C-alpha cells in the first residue's frame, strides 16, 4: 500500500526513499548518501496553454504530480485533472492565469507543497526558509492586496476553493509557471537520498532538521506556506 503523508501519496515505503539536504547528513552517514537526480517526464511549461473553457473561466488549471523512485533518481510525472477529480490525498497544485500580465503563475505555497511531495517529507519552518532563499533568484512577484495592480490577482488567489493555493490571507510570492522546472531543480540539486536513517532515529520516518550549534534532530512541523 502507498504511504500517505501530509504532502500526498508516495509509492512504497516512504522511509526507504528518504530525501534530505546534503548538509543534513551526519558525517558518519555521508557514505550512505546518494546524489539525487530528478527527471520531469513531460513538458511542464506547456501546461500554460491549451486550456478548456472551464479552466479559462476559472482562471486556473489543476495539475496532479506524483513521483516514482528508481534508486537515487526521482521520476516526476504529472497530469491535468478536473476539479471534480481532486483528491486531497494527492499532490495537486494550481496553475493560475493572471489576466493583466497574460502569464501563468504558481504560488510559493504550492511550490513548497509540491517539493514536499517530491522529497517525501513535510518541511519544517527552517527548511521552508531555505527553499525560499534557493529560489529567490527565479523571477517572481510578491502579491499584496495593498500594492497597485495586485488587488485583483490577490483576490483571485484568495477566492479559490480546495485545493487552495495559499494558507493564510496575507502577502505571498507567485512564480511564473514557465520557471517551475528551474525552481524544482534549484532545490533538488542540493538533495541526496539517504539510506538507513532508521538506525539514527528508530523505525519511524523522520525529517532531519538543523538545530542551534550544528546539532541534528528530527521532527515534523505543520504544513504552511
pLDDT tens-digit map of 204-219:
333 322 222 222 222 2
In a domain, 202, yes or no: yes
In a domain, 225, yes or no: no
Bigger pLDDT: 41 vs 134: 41
Phi and psi at 75, nearest 5°, equal: -95, 115
In a domain, 223, yes or no: no
Residue 5 predicted with pLDDT over 90: no
DSSP string, 127-151: HHHHHHHHTTTS-EEEE-TTSTTTH
In a domain, 96, yes or no: yes
Domain count, the chain: 1
Mean pLDDT throughout 146-175?
89
Residue 187 predicted with pLDDT over 80: yes
Residue 138 predicted with pLDDT over 60: yes
In a domain, 125, yes or no: yes
In a domain, 224, yes or no: no
The domain of 110 spans: 3-218
In a domain, 130, yes or no: yes
Q: How confident is the model at residue 32 (pLDDT cuts 50, 70, 90)?
A: low
Residue 165 predicted with pLDDT over 90: yes
pLDDT one-digit tens code per residue, 96-116 = 999 999 999 999 999 999 998
In a domain, 181, yes or no: yes
Element (H, E) at 182: helix 180-188
Amino acid at each position: 500500500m502507498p504511504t500517505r503523508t501530509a504532502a500526498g501519496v508516495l509509492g512504497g515505503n516512504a522511509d526507504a526513499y528518504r530525501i534530505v539536504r546534503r548538509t543534513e547528513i551526519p558525517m558518519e552517514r555521508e557514505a550512505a548518501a546518494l546524489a539525487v537526480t530528478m527527471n520531469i517526464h513531460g513538458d511542464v511549461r506547456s501546461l500554460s496553454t491549451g486550456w478548456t473553457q472551464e479552466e479559462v473561466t476559472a482562471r486556473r488549471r489543476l495539475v496532479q504530480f506524483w513521483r516514482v523512485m528508481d534508486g537515487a533518481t526521482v521520476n516526476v510525472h504529472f497530469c491535468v485533472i478536473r476539479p471534480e477529480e481532486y483528491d486531497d490525498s494527492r499532490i495537486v497544485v494550481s496553475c493560475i492565469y493572471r489576466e493583466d500580465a497574460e502569464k501563468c503563475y504558481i504560488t510559493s505555497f504550492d511550490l513548497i507543497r509540491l517539493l514536499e511531495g517530491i522529497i517525501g517529507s513535510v518541511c519544517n519552518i527552517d527548511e521552508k526558509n531555505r527553499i525560499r532563499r534557493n529560489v529567490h533568484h527565479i523571477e517572481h512577484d510578491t502579491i499584496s492586496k495593498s500594492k497597485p495592480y495586485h488587488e485583483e490577482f490577490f483576490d483571485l488567489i484568495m477566492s479559490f476553493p480546495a485545493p487552495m493555493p495559499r494558507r493564510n490571507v496575507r502577502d505571498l510570492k507567485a512564480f511564473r509557471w514557465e520557471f517551475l522546472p528551474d525552481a524544482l531543480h534549484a532545490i533538488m540539486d542540493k538533495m541526496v537520498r539517504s539510506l538507513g536513517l532508521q538506525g539514527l532515529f528508530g523505525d519511524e520516518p523522520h525529517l532531519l532538521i538543523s538545530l542551534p550549534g550544528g546539532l541534528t534532530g528530527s521532527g515534523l512541523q505543520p504544513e504552511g506556506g
